[in-house]
Structure formats: C-alpha cells, structure tokens
C-alpha cells in the first residue's frame, strides 16, 4: 500500500508539475504577446508623431516659401509702379519744359517783331519827314531842275530800295537757315533723348525678363529638390513598410512555427504522460497483485 501511495504521490507531483509548467508557459506567452503589442503600439505612436512633425514642418516651409513669393511679387509690382511714375514725371517735365521754352521763344519773337515794327515805323516816318523837308528845300533851291533831279532821285531811291530789299532777303534767309539749324539740332537732341529713354526702358525690361527667368530657374530647382526629397521620403517610407511587413510576416511565421512545435511537444508530452500513466498503472497493478498474494500467503501461513 505504501508503494502504491508513493507511486500515486509521484504521479500527482509529475502531473502538477506538467500542469504548472503548462500554465507558466501560457502566462509567459500571454505576457510576451502583451509586451509585443505594447511595443508595437508605442512604435506606431512614435511613427505617428514623426509623421505629424514632418507634416507640420513641410506646411511651415511651404507657407514660408509662399510668403516670400508674395513679398517678391509685391516688391516687383511696387518697383514697376515707381518706374512708371518716374517715367511719367520725366515725360511730363520734358513736355512742360518744351512748352515753356516754346512759349518763351514765341514771346521773344513777338517782342523782336514788335521792336522791329516800331523801328520800321520810326524809320519810315523819319524818311517821310526827311523827304518832305528835302523836297521843300529842293524846290526852293532847284525848282528849275525838278524833272531831272526827280529822275535821278527816283533812280537812286530805287537802287537803295533794291539794295535794302536784297539785304533784308539775305537777312531773312540767314535767319531762316539759323532757325532751320536750331530746329534740326533740337530735333536731333530730342531724338537722342528719346532713344536714350527707349534704350533705358528696353534695358530695364530685359533686366526684368532676365530676373524673372533666373527666379523661375531657382524656383524650378527648388521645386525639383523638394520633389526629389519627397520622392526619397516616399521611397524610404515604402521600403520601411516593406521591411516592417517582411519582419511582421517573419515574426508571425516564427510564432506559428513555435506554436506548431509547442503543439507537437504538447502532443508528445500528452502521449508520454498517457504512456507513463499506463505503465504506472500496470506497475501499480502488478505490485498490488504481488502485495495481495504476499498478504494472502502470510495469512495462510
């Protein structure tokens, strides 16, 4: 009986050990799963924080670039307005100067014409008075030679008038040539000024076009760099996703293999336990039978 009791205690201890180890194994598996889930959640939270920070920084960078572009466009617009205002003021100043000079020229010409007309009138009146005086004196002195003296005087006056007319025509021709030369020079000077203004405006437009082209080139290079960075970031994220999927599949595969091995081990353990229980029962039965026969023998003896 003592051997049967000890065998039963040992079988119970073995069974309790197997159950305890199985329970501890389940507890360790549950704890490892829980810790893995917690680590995965923490990793997902960290990745989400990183993505949020990246999105915020990219948004900030985009707003800064947009603000700089707006400031640049506004400065170009104001510079164009200032240039247009300066050009308008310059053209207004040139036009007012031209009008003022033309007015002064006309006033000076009217003054000269007025003085010339007054001088001509004085000369003509003096000439009439002198003619009257000379005629009176001539009549008193040479009245008997009136016809011949009149003819000579008329010829002399005609000669003097033709000479004065010739001088006046030459003077008018010289004045006309001088005015023509002045007009030609002023036109040439005005064309030079206008050509210089047109060249300055053309050079300013070419400068603006070159600046615009350079800024467009810089913007395209910056956009290409940003696109390349975003493409590299998306490629890195894709590689990270692929690697995480591969690592997750490997982990799941290892876990399934481990579960299969544990199941096989559990089945082998169960078979060993059943077999050992069967052997223990056979041994206990044979020992009980032998003990019973020994007891019967002892009683009979």
Domain residue ranges in the chain: 2-300
End-to-end CA distance of the chain: 20
Q: Mind listing the pLDDT tens digit for each residue in 130-167?
A: 777 777 776 666 655 566 667 777 778 788 888 888 88
Q: Is the distance from CB of 289 to CB of 16 less than 8 angstroms? A: no
Q: Mind listing the pLDDT tens digit for each residue in 237-293?
A: 888 888 887 887 888 888 888 887 887 777 777 777 778 877 877 777 777 666 666
User: What is the token pair recorded at 77?
Assistant: 């617009």
CA–CA dist 265, 18 (Å, integer): 12
User: What is the token pair recorded at 291?
Assistant: 């003990």
Q: Find the mean pLDDT for residues 166-191.
A: 80
Does residue 81 carry a pLDDT above 80?
Answer: yes
**What does the pLDDT read at residue 17?**
78
HSE-up of residue 79 (Cα within 13 Å, Cβ side): 10
Residue with the larger pLDDT of the pair 231 and 82:
82
Does residue 103 carry a pLDDT above 70?
Answer: yes
**What does the pLDDT read at residue 12?**
77
Residue with tokens 């080139």: 217
pTM metric for this prediction? 0.27
Q: Find the mean pLDDT for residues 8-35.
A: 80
Weakest-pLDDT range from 51-65, 183-197, 270-284 = 270-284
Q: What does the buried/exposed string (b/e) look like for 268-289 if buried means 16 or more CB atoms within 10 Å of the residue's CB?
A: eeeeeeeeeeeeeeeeeeeeee
Q: Find the mean pLDDT for residues 209-235.
A: 82
Does residue 98 carry a pLDDT above 80?
Answer: yes
Average pLDDT, the chain: 80
**What does the pLDDT read at residue 171?**
77
Weakest-pLDDT range from 14-18, 23-27, 126-130, 285-289 = 285-289
Quick one: pLDDT band at residue 192, thresholds 50, 70, 90?
confident
Q: Find the mean pLDDT for residues 175-201.
A: 83
Q: Find the mean pLDDT for residues 92-97.
A: 85
Weakest-pLDDT range from 189-193, 194-198, 237-241 = 237-241
CA–CA dist 140, 87 (Å, integer): 78
Which among 154, 118, 115, 114 is positioned nearest to 134, based on CA atoms? 154
Based on DSSP, count helices (H) and strands (E) in the chain, helices before strands.
Answer: 2, 0
**What does the pLDDT read at residue 66?**
86
Quick one: pLDDT band at residue 298, thresholds 50, 70, 90?
low
Q: Mind listing the pLDDT tens digit for each residue in 29-51?
A: 888 888 888 888 888 888 888 88
**What does the pLDDT read at residue 142?**
61
CA–CA dist 124, 112 (Å, integer): 18
User: What is the token pair recorded at 99?
Assistant: 């009008």
Q: Is the distance from CB of 238 to CB of 1 less than 8 angstroms? A: no
**What does the pLDDT read at residue 148?**
67
**What does the pLDDT read at residue 36?**
82
Within 8 A by CB and 6+ apart from 191, the residues are none
């Amino acid at each position: 009986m003592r051997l049967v009791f000890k065998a039963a205690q040992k079988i119970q201890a073995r069974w309790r050990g197997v159950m305890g180890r199985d329970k501890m194994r389940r507890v360790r598996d549950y704890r490892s799963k829980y810790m893995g889930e917690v680590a995965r959640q923490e990793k997902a939270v960290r990745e989400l924080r990183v993505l949020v920070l990246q999105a915020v920084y990219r948004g900030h960078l985009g707003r800064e670039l947009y603000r700089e572009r707006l400031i640049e466009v506004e400065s170009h617009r104001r510079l164009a307005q200032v240039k247009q205002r300066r050009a308008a003021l310059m053209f207004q100043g040139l036009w007012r100067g031209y009008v003022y000079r033309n007015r002064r020229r006309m006033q000076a010409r009217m003054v000269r014409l007025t003085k010339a007309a007054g001088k001509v009138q004085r000369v003509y009146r003096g000439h009439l008075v002198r003619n009257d005086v000379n005629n009176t004196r001539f009549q008193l002195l040479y009245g008997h030679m009136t016809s011949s003296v009149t003819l000579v005087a008329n010829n002399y006056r005609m000669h003097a008038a033709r000479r004065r007319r010739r001088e006046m025509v030459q003077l008018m021709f010289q004045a006309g040539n001088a005015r023509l030369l002045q007009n030609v020079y002023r036109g040439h000077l005005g064309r030079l000024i206008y050509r210089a203004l047109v060249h300055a405006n053309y050079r300013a437009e070419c400068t603006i076009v070159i600046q615009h082209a350079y800024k467009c080139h810089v913007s395209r290079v910056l956009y290409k760099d940003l696109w390349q960075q975003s493409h590299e970031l998306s490629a890195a994220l894709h590689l990270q996703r692929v690697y995480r999927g591969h690592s997750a599949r490997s982990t799941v595969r290892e876990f399934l293999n481990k579960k299969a091995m544990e199941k096989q081990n559990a089945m082998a353990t169960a078979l060993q336990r059943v077999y050992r229980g069967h052997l223990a029962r056979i041994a206990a039965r044979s020992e009980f039978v032998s003990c019973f026969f020994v007891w019967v023998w002892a009683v009979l003896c």
